[in-house]
Structure 1
C-alpha cells in the first residue's frame, strides 16, 4: 500500500454555516463550497490547507453517522483521511494483515473520491479513512 499524504481531517460540526467562520475568518482559510453525500447522510465543506484539507461534516439526518458521533463525543475531529495510490489494493493488504474494516470495498465520497473506512477498534480508537482521487 502506498500512502501519498494526509488528504484531509474530518471535523464533525452541528452546523457548517455556524462553525465555518472560525476557519474562514479567524484562520483565513477559503471555503471551496459544500456538497451533500446522500448515501452517507452528510453535507461536507472543504477548506484547503496546503496539499491537504479540512473537511467540515454536518449530518443531514439524526440517524446519520456524524449525528451519532456528535451525540456520543461532541463536535470535533471525527476522522483522518489518507490518500492512497490504489484503494482496492490498500484494502486487500489491510484485510490480509487482519485489520478490521468498516468498508470491504470502496464507496463514493465527496468530490468523486473513492473512500473506505477502517474500524476504530483496529486503530486505537481513531476513525481512519482511505481515499483515492
Structure 2
C-alpha cells in the first residue's frame, strides 16, 4: 500500500452546481453575487454545458463555482436534476497528479468512477470518487492543464 503523503489535495478547486439553464444561471451569479465568467465550454463526453464562475478577485488565487447544465435529459446532470433538482452536485479538489492521488485512494479501498482519468474543463484531467465511498458526496479530483512555458 502507498504511504500517505502529507496532503492529497492542493486546494479546493470548485463546487459544481447543477442548473437547468446555463445562460440564466450565469446571469444570476454575475448580477447577484458579482462573480465573473472565467470559462465556458461544452463537454460532449460528459453531456454538459459548463461555465466556471470566479469567486473573488480574478487576479488573485481563487476557487470557482462550476455551473453544469445538461445537454440531454439522460446525461448525468439531467438525471441529477430530475432526481434532486438544482443544487450542489459535486465538490472538486485540485491535485498535482490525478494518477498518483487515484492510486493512493484505490489502495485505501475507495472506488473511482473511471479506470483512467478523463478530460475535464479547460484541458484538465479528472476522476471522481464514488459518493458511497466519500460520505455521500461526489468528489472530483482535478489536475489542471499544464501552464504554457512563458519563455
Report the TM-score when normalising by structure 2: 0.85
Determine which structure has the larger helix proportion and give its number.
Answer: 1
Quote how far apart the aligned CAs of 1:18 are: 1.6
Instruction: Specify the structure having the higher radius of gyration (Cα).
Output: 2
Alignment of 1:1-133 (within 5 A): 2-50=8-56, 51-133=62-144
Identify which of structures 1 and 2 has the higher relative contact order when contacts are C-alpha pairs closer than 8 Å and 6+ apart.
1
- Distance in 2 (alpha carbons) for counterparts of 1:86 and 1:16: 30
Determine which structure has the larger strand proportion and give its number.
Answer: 1
- Distance in 1 (alpha carbons) for counterparts of 2:35 and 2:24: 15
Q: What per-residue deviation string (whole Å, max 9, x for no partner) do you get for residues 36-71 of structure 1?
A: 011000010011114100100011111100000001
RMSD: 1.1
Tell me the matched-pair count.
133
- Distance in 2 (alpha carbons) for counterparts of 1:42 and 1:74: 16
Quote how far apart the aligned CAs of 1:33 are: 3.9
- Distance in 1 (alpha carbons) for counterparts of 2:50 and 2:76: 13
CA contact (8 A) 1:91 1:104 kept: no
Structure 1 gap ranges (5+): none
Q: What per-residue deviation string (whole Å, max 9, x for no partner) do you get for residues 66-98 of structure 1?
A: 000001111000000000011100000000000
